[in-house]
């Protein structure tokens, strides 16, 4: 997804997407331990790093990302293809860009938001995204949020000449465009998810990453309506 800061800076989150070869075995095991459900959502699916693990515990799956990420040719597993092309004949998995997803009336038993919040360059925008995911869950549904808050790469990137500080994180100007990484420790993450309307069901910490299973209460009433006419998903002015 892309987030416009000003006329000259647009954050390209597709630059932060990691391949299947960089899976977290801890996260993969955690996903495999989840109870099977009918309908799941992968919000910010990236390069399908955990596609198989998610699909193993659900009947149907909707993957969501920017139109660029879904349509561009890239290496997915061992194939050089696009996400849309890969899923063209699937009867279990559907790919939607953010505009298509907002127009969708589908609701889900479970959602995944894996290393997405940390690449969004605004706390206000992060909250909108989290509340939007909440609005797409069935009563009693859950979302697994994963945020990396400590990493040797973060330390290295902060020292690079093309890195500058930005509120809550740091901005990197590379040949592929601008990228942003926020540092969100576990306690602020829990407070943030609660403020967005989620209930915290579980928290696990492992090697600098926080894994939070958050749920939508069965009596929750989602009043906020989200509408958008075109990408980017959210713009920051």
**What is the reported pLDDT for 63?**
96
Confidence check: pLDDT of 22 > 80: no
- The residue behind tokens 């063209």 is 88
* Cα–Cα distance list, 30 to 35, 57, 145 (Å): 11, 11, 12
DSSP state of 183: -
Q: Where are the domains of the chain?
A: 2-147+183-215
**What is the reported pLDDT for 157?**
67
Confidence check: pLDDT of 204 > 70: yes
Q: How confident is the model over 107-129, as pLDDT tens digits? A: 999 999 999 998 888 888 889 99
pLDDT band at 237 (very low <50, low <70, confident <90, very high): very low
Edge-first strand order for the sheet with 10-12 is 2-4, 10-12, 177-182, 169-174, 163-166
- Distance from C-alpha of 214 to C-alpha of 111, rounded to nearest angstrom: 10
Concatenated DSSP letters for 192-225? HHHHTTPEEEEEEEETTEEEEEEE--TT------
Q: How confident is the model over 212-223, as pLDDT tens digits? A: 999 998 655 544
CATH class belonging to 2-147+183-215: alpha beta
- Distance from C-alpha of 216 to C-alpha of 84, rounded to nearest angstrom: 30
């Amino acid at each position: 997804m892309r987030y416009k800061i000003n006329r000259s800076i647009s954050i390209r989150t597709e630059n932060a997407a990691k391949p299947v070869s960089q899976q977290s075995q801890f996260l993969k095991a955690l996903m495999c331990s989840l109870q099977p459900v009918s309908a799941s959502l992968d919000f910010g699916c990236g390069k399908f790093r955990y596609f198989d693990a998610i699909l193993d515990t659900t009947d149907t799956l909707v993957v969501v990302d920017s139109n660029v990420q879904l349509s561009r040719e890239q290496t997915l597993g061992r194939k050089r293809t696009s996400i849309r092309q890969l899923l063209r004949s699937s009867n279990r998995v559907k790919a939607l860009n953010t505009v298509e997803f907002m127009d969708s009336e589908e609701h889900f038993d479970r959602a995944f938001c894996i290393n997405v919040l940390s690449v969004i360059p605004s706390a206000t925008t992060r909250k909108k995204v989290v509340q939007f995911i909440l609005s797409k869950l069935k009563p009693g549904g859950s979302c697994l949020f994963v945020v990396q808050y400590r990493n040797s790469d973060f330390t290295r990137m902060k020292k690079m000449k093309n890195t500058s500080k930005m509120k809550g994180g740091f901005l990197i100007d590379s040949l592929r465009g601008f990228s942003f990484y926020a540092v969100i420790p576990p306690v602020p993450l829990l407070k943030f998810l609660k403020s967005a309307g989620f209930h915290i069901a579980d928290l696990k910490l492992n090697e600098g990453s926080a894994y939070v299973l958050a749920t939508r209460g069965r009596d929750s009433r989602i009043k906020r309506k989200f509408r958008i006419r075109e990408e980017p998903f959210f713009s920051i002015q």
